[in-house]
Amino acid sequence: MKRIINLLLIAIMVLPLSANEGMWFLMHIERLNYVDMQKMGLQLTPEEIYSINNYSLKDAIVQFGGGCTAEIISKNGLVLTNHHCGYGQIAELSTEENDYLTNGFWAKDYTEELKPANLSVRFFVRMDDVSQRILSLVNEDMTELEREKVINQEIAKIQNENDEGGKYTVSVRSFYSGNEYYYFVYQDYTDVRLVGTPPNSIGKFGGDTDNWEWPRHTGDFSLFRVYADAEGNPASYSNDNVPLQVKYHLPVSMKGYEENDFSMILGYPGRTNRWMPSAGIDQNVKYAYPAWVEGSKTSMDAMKKHMEQSQQVNLDYASKYAGIANYWKNRQGMIDALTQHKTAEAKKIKEDDFVKWINTKDRKLGGKTGQDQRRKNYGNVMDAINNYYQKTNVKSKDDNYLVSALRGSNMITLPNRLNRIMSSLFNGEAMDEAKFNENIQPQIDNLYAKLHMPLERDVFIETLSLYANKASSPIESLIKMKENNADIRLQLGVLFDQSMLSSKERLTKFATKPDKEVYNSDPLIQLSNELFTAYRYQSDELKSLDEQYQKAFRNMIKGMREMNPDVTYYPDANSTLRLTYGTVRPLPLGAKPNDAAINYFTTLKGTVAKYQPGDEEFDMPQRLIDLYNQKDYGPYADKMGHLPVNFLTDHDITGGNSGSPVLNAKGELIGLAFDGNIEAMAGDVIFDEALQRTISVDIRYVLFVIDKYAGAKHIVDELTLVN
């Protein structure tokens, strides 16, 4: 891990927000942000960003696959997102004969576009504030369970009032840990098809080595299309479906950008924890994240040796491996950044200020009377929070070793996915061979379709032996294995081999003559059940601690906002649509060397400089090298003759923003976000104005790859290009 520059942090809890900090609700832009955005260069009105009655930018932003963001870039429902966001679908559609992940794919027309098994996009319709409606029904004398019951009942009413008979999906979400509530109305489309993707050597150039690092040289994009019925309504996949005619699509800028240009990002950031207490940060750094990192690396090592031996295995596990690897590096970066920045210490200072405020007389509140009211509302808040973390530190470590095993091993989770099949066999009538082949065999085939059993065996053994040896209180079965003289890996291997789940053939043979008692006595199924029981278990003490913590954390946030009435706050990210704005901006001078003349963008020259023939991470297609040597960039070069690849802005984003559009002052697309920088890895917890950066792929590089590299100019011709 590279040395992280240690600069002064700006804490959201008490200090004024920097211009580029914040993930803002679109409905609040006019009231909270518009004047500031105008001063920085914005040329749109608030109505052009968010409108209920007219088309606006929000109509072109979709949540992609539940975990990323994408944007609509043509009137015919063309969707642009990151290559890594579409990675699972691209891998799913790939075979050794048609390896789209390795070689790329470009549909020549609608008929060639490919439908993955499960992919949806979610359009945002509108949102509204229901805080007063919900909070008027609860009080501080309620237990957390009583409070939750009342709130959930009201949420059900709000959802029913706004879904228009099932036309829309309505989600009511809590913000500031239950101090505010908003509802969001969405429309979901499930017929989404692959249109185009560059090869891995472009879309994932740099691999794990460059992940979270600047400078980047990655063409991290892919293209999909939304289909609907003839009336434009969501519909299940059908040959009769047609490309969706959208309300609004983003125009694409060919002009590029300059340093300090205004820019903004709209997207679905996944989760931030800017209000996390100092004790929570300490728990993550010292207990939870180290276990996460070690568990993830164990899974990756066990998978990798098999993936390197077979291209089909590599394709089948590419998405799972990439997801584990991304968080492995992220969590190690979080440990380093939070430690280097002394983030827990900075948060502790603010918490001490909060405690002083609670115990300070306030004349506005009536002197001692006001002090007594604060003590009543907030007096035990920090003690309850600190007590919770002190008593759950070791458990957080154990839980992360366990979760790493559940996340890495498909075989541990397989019994859960088998339950429905087995219930139908145990409780149903006897099946003849024809009925079995029609109803049961396809389900079993589907469960094992992408599983490589030698790999699964190794992941099972390695992750569970790590959990058994490193957790303070592993499950009883593993404790007994540790007490035996034999190597626990050997014992786990024997257990795996004895199970009917160790091959599709053995399970199929059992399923033809099912026996519930035999099934329940299977050693792997028993172990899986024990692991999930441990994962779900909450002692009475922990339930009590959780309840105390939830109430205290909610009141900590309420009190700190009360303590700082002049600070404009934004809620933590929780996968709801947000806007963040700032400028095109390099890292601090001299922080990183780069191939471009100015260190806020990279060029194809730097990509070629990193080229390592045959290397998994830094190989390049020969055609891309030829285009570089010929300087055949078409209309996509900048005014200096460079072909820009990636660039930096100072936007406030997090996971879930992957694929988000980067827009200029006119709302034109200049790039799409795909990464952050390792120096600001603590950004989910505390914002660093000096170091926080978003790494994006330049839209001109996207167009160049589609047009000049792939020869798919018909796709570019769909777009609205602005010169």
Catalytic residue numbers read 84, 220, 658
Give the dihedral sign, CA 665/671/672/676. negative
Q: Name the 3-class secondary structure at 195.
A: strand
Give Cα 289 distance to the centre of its chain: 17
Tell me how many degrees the CA angle 213-217-223 measures, rounded to the nearest 5: 110
CA-to-CA distance for 629 and 636, rounded, in angstroms?
16
- DSSP H helices in 245-342: 278-283, 289-307, 311-340
Tokens for 21?
Answer: 């900090």
Tell me 707's DSSP state: I
CA 379 to the chain's CA centroid: 36
Tell me, rounded to whole angstroms, the distance of Cα 457 from its chain centroid: 28
CB 697 within 8 A of CB 218: yes
Separation between Cα atoms, residue 164 and residue 200, nearest integer Å: 43
Closest CA to 657 of 271, 268, 312: 268
| Cβ(532)–Cβ(554) below 8 Å | no
In angstroms, rounded to a whole number, what is the distance separating the alpha carbons of residues 265 and 654? 11
Q: Coil, strand, or helix at residue 174?
A: strand
Q: What φ, ψ does residue 356 adopt, rounded to 5°?
A: -60, -40
For residue 229 the two structure tokens come to 């019925």
The partner residues of 124 in beta bridges, in order of sequence, read 186
* Whole-angstrom distance, CA of residue 670 vs CA of residue 707: 17
